[in-house]
Structure 1
């Protein structure tokens, strides 16, 4: 053996010994999936595979196109680290949600998998992050899937295109499309990721026939879009919607519900950022497009295009044309405490408040004032917007799925803790997330820090149990905790405060009031719904035959 050969061997041995001494594995776990071979990591009995591409990079001519499936790669792909997040504006200020990703790129269509070691045919939890369809990432630490995977669930988190890159509609883009539609590219990404899961998840030990789509806020809005979208049908078997909002949304070519056509909004945006056509938009960098769109006030939403979203979400569910799957849905008692920009201004006095409500809500005014009395004005204002957006939506989801004969489970999250409560943020929007994922120590930098106590740990363990058992069987149960009854005819729900407690008939009259308001606005066809409530509501349209 030559001196140089012995040197190479000795260096290799030395490197292996050093790795073992340091407590690191020489090689991570290998998965051979139809998409290609991956090398990941192992932690606490859970295999992790991060930064897995599920579609070709949507750059250049593929910008504002449906995602293109990725050919199988050759060799072993390193899946030890997260991919860049999708392009999003830099935060303008600091809030509890501020969590700027370390790297952003237009090449961002990647997903991440956490799987229990040695598992086969495990249920799949497919998580869609929130962030107003503008920000966020499947790599955020608060969404770490380790705790859920330790319960025998395969967890998938995804990136999808955001902002103008994910939701812009424009006549030229529609002309390029075989279906003559545009917008909804972020939704198309989510569907493509679900198709990737259907083809590949068995290699990680997951059951492609038992996939639960889940999300919070804009992620829960996306869950409803997927439930309403015919091309997504058959790609999932259950749904979880945390703080969803069934708002009116622009239609592709016609003005309805106080919204301009989505294509017209696209022209307006292109003009505002100095682009005369789609070619000019594609010549700009993705960062330029997203930042310019944000400065111009562009707010991304899905587009009712007759194909991916055939109707307004509320109409799809009224028709019974949504995915017929079991659902778990709910909202937080303090949703608007951290989203006060959504709330109407607090009136100067009780009499001013009552006068405005009577002027704006006409024959529904007394019901409105009974539900939101003037005695505690600030609390009334917060509750009005919470219920119009989140409470009404959650109850509507479980009512509609119950009507389809599907098991449906309703909750309200009312759990507080000292650091949040001292800031006036009791049970704020998203505050259930670290309890559902078991990531109390991994919240964003300015999130009110959670206490370390046995009670907090037990509370989180109960929520993890309920969520993962629903993912597994469609029935939420938790060890040494009360049964969670289906919504059913008794209108049952689970109350998550200090400990989980079943109850019935949450906020009597709330759903009926907001259902009537939305029904009249839909029948009238000129008013949006959900945000414009209370003292900023336009005059409510009169009752019609269809709104009884």
Structure 2
């Protein structure tokens, strides 16, 4: 195993500043001098390394801080994506091939040309902690920066390279823990932002973490991680999911220990020891782990993530920061793999729900009726993962007296609706970033109409104003009420519209199911919902 000084040497070798371009804005930050590009009134710096990911024989260690580089570094091209398996070519989320590397910890900055002490949004990309990159064109931060904020987007280690727990790794760690390397990368990126963003015109004390899907999940991890405390003042969680988490050495909620999952993987790969596992090529290892079903998740390790997310929020031990959270009406339309297979008929559906939900079956069937069971199946999974989480986060922060805002994205446009993808998972991103012209090849194309542009302009306003002062406000659009004010939320349909009491009964049902399952210590609350649910335990004290 490499010593820490040896890792520093590797890091230095990997970040030797390339020959800088001769034109473009220059920033002399504590990390080093960088030269970027200009895009209208926005300065753009791409591919800045914020830490080194130990690679090869040093793999699966925390990110390595970097000393100041010498000379001037060109920051004109995005850094390579973190190693990941391919996305099926037919997927709506498929992107063109991109450069990848095991040492991939870089970030990008969009800053108003004359920014001084501007609020900062740090964007964490989605992709199930398995795929994705900050180089996706849809994440271009220019239009948000034009509203007066600094936008930073980051890469973090993915899949088996970022989230593997294993006894071999825990034994060599001072805290006797392993896993969560991707989360440690995110914390390292936030630390870099704290130390360097002022040089780009940002305020290190005014950082908002933001992300969608696995990026939203990461925002919740960061809210519950003591190691991230003080590195941000607000959070945006889009389509996040507060599901049950594996623990490092104990089997809980129907899941094997995190270390046990790692042992199963090394056994399947026929790796006799850690050196053998580290010797496997990064891409080959990533692909094999994905084929074997390795699912990357944060693990409760007693250190980086000390407890289940639901417990942290119930105890008020999460970061006490304002939040903006929400989800999409058609989340599962593009993620049908998460939903159970529909039964033969409505009678079978109703009978199965009765068996699985017992005394809560009547409430379940009122929300998800048998009369339209194919749609009910999609709605069931959507709400158990995304809807319940969004409202739970907002409720818990509001209960602490913090500004908290809830939304539902229910916007349809012809190409998406005709494809059966009304308000599908991640479809709000093109509107939040104003990048409808920069979506993936299979993405239903957003028409360039006045109505679509107006909706996007309003969402950009709401998001950037929340980053500025914790209150989402948009020009020529309704005032977004805080959730505490009569359970108000913003419905993004054809236009923004204020509504109240989102999906009555949805939160209460899913909260009750979670509570009963948690009380057993044996049943998880994740994708095992509706027709895939185990028999619901009886009511428990406190539920």
The TM-score, its normalising length taken from structure 1, stands at 0.94
Distance 1:387 1:61 in 2: 43
Select 2:254's aligned residue among 254, 258, 262: 258
Distance 2:497 2:64 in 1: 46
> CA offsets, 1:37-85, max 9 Å, x none?
0000001110000000001242134310011100100100000001110
Select 1:206's aligned residue among 165, 189, 202: 202
**Match in the other structure for 2:8:** none
Alignment of 1:450-469 (within 5 A): 450-469=446-465
2:68 corresponds to 1:69: no
Deviation at 1:473, TM superposition (A): 0.5
Deviation at 1:423, TM superposition (A): 0.5
Q: Which runs of 4+ in 1 moved over 2 A?
A: none
2:95 corresponds to 1:91: no
User: Gaps spanning 5+ residues in structure 2: where?
Assistant: 1-20
Distance 2:22 2:33 in 1: 17
> CA offsets, 1:330-363, max 9 Å, x none?
0000000000111112122221111111111111
Aligned length: 523
Deviation at 1:100, TM superposition (A): 4.1
Select 1:529's aligned residue among 517, 521, 525: 525
Deviation at 1:274, TM superposition (A): 2.0
Secondary structure of the residue aligned to 2:152 is strand
Distance 1:479 1:254 in 2: 51
- Which moves more between the two structures, 25-34 or 337-346? 25-34
> CA offsets, 1:474-528, max 9 Å, x none?
0000001110000005111000001101111010000000000000000011111
CA contact (8 A) 2:52 2:104 kept: no
Deviation at 1:93, TM superposition (A): 4.0
**Match in the other structure for 1:11:** none
Select 1:107's aligned residue among 82, 103, 110: 103
Distance 1:329 1:537 in 2: 26
CA contact (8 A) 1:385 1:533 kept: yes
2:278 corresponds to 1:295: no
**Match in the other structure for 2:315:** 319
Deviation at 1:530, TM superposition (A): 2.5
Deviation at 1:273, TM superposition (A): 1.4
Select 1:170's aligned residue among 161, 166, 170: 166
**Match in the other structure for 2:276:** 280
Distance 2:329 2:439 in 1: 20
- Which moves more between the two structures, 169-178 or 99-108? 99-108
Select 2:186's aligned residue among 185, 190, 196: 190
**Match in the other structure for 1:376:** 372
> CA offsets, 1:346-396, max 9 Å, x none?
122221111111111111011111111111111111110000000000000
Distance 1:411 1:325 in 2: 18
Secondary structure of the residue aligned to 1:115 is strand
**Match in the other structure for 2:114:** 118
Secondary structure of the residue aligned to 2:405 is strand
Alignment of 1:16-415 (within 5 A): 27-415=23-411
Secondary structure of the residue aligned to 1:157 is strand
CA contact (8 A) 1:91 1:100 kept: no
Secondary structure of the residue aligned to 2:179 is coil
Deviation at 1:409, TM superposition (A): 0.1
Question: Structure 1 residues 263 and 47, CA, compared in 2 at 3 Å: closer, same or farther?
Answer: same
Whichever of the two has the greater Rg, that structure is 1
2:497 corresponds to 1:501: yes
**Match in the other structure for 2:511:** 515
Select 1:544's aligned residue among 532, 540, 543: 540
Distance 1:101 1:463 in 2: 30
Deviation at 1:312, TM superposition (A): 0.9
Secondary structure of the residue aligned to 2:438 is coil
CA contact (8 A) 1:85 1:101 kept: no
Secondary structure of the residue aligned to 1:441 is helix
Distance 1:49 1:393 in 2: 34
